[in-house]
């Protein structure tokens, strides 16, 4: 469903995707299936969005941003694509920013150009991400720093991979796994 009050130029929008009012999607953007693009979202041309992605209100997604499947982008998240912006001067190519599968970015976070956010990572509200984020890690603050890890069942762990009960986890090629006592 594409709301009649949106401005959608792209013909590359997957089946079952919903675009709400006042969203603007430029001609060459590619958006997957079953996505939810909320109102007041702007998506530029050189953008690739996977399947089942949620983009909340007030987000701008600029050239060079790549969102994998199942990504959540909270309200008013800001992506950048140029580390040295100048009026009327465009770089030869914009830096690419990659957000991995199942990653979540909280409200009002700012993501600098050229960053990779790993699979399953969690970025807290208001964070300013200035460097790559490993998979299944939790980052927040300004600048964002590592605060812990997240399991596949959304349990937040400390940076030393322990839960609130003191149980230890290991991190090997995927989400943290509970170590047997």
Segment 105-140, tens digit of pLDDT: 999 999 999 999 999 999 999 999 999 999 999 999
> Regarding beta strands 137-140 and 122-123, do their DSSP bridges make them parallel or antiparallel, or are they unpaired?
parallel
Q: Is the peptide bond before 143 cis (omega within 30 degrees of 0)?
A: yes
The model's pLDDT over 19-51, given as tens digits with 9 standing for 90+, comes to 999 999 999 999 999 999 999 999 999 999 999
Report the alpha-carbon distance of residue 19 to residue 11 in Å, rounded.
13
CB 101 within 8 A of CB 70: yes
């Amino acid at each position: 469903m594409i709301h009649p009050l949106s401005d959608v130029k792209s013909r590359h929008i997957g089946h079952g995707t919903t675009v709400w009012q006042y969203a603007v999607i430029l001609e060459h953007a590619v958006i997957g299936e079953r996505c939810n693009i909320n109102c007041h979202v702007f998506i530029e041309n050189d953008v690739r969005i996977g399947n089942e992605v949620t983009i909340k209100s007030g987000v701008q997604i600029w050239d060079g941003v790549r969102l994998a499947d199942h990504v959540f982008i909270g309200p008013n998240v800001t992506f950048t694509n140029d580390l040295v912006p100048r009026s009327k001067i465009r770089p030869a190519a914009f830096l690419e920013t990659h957000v991995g599968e199942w990653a979540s970015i909280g409200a009002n976070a700012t993501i600098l150009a050229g960053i990779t956010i790993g699979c399953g990572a969690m970025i807290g509200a208001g964070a300013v991400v200035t460097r790559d984020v490993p998979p299944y890690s939790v980052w927040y603050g300004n600048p964002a720093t590592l605060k812990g890890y997240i399991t596949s069942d959304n349990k937040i762990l400390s940076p030393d991979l322990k839960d609130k009960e003191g149980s230890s986890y290991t991190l090997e090629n995927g989400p943290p796994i509970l170590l047997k006592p």
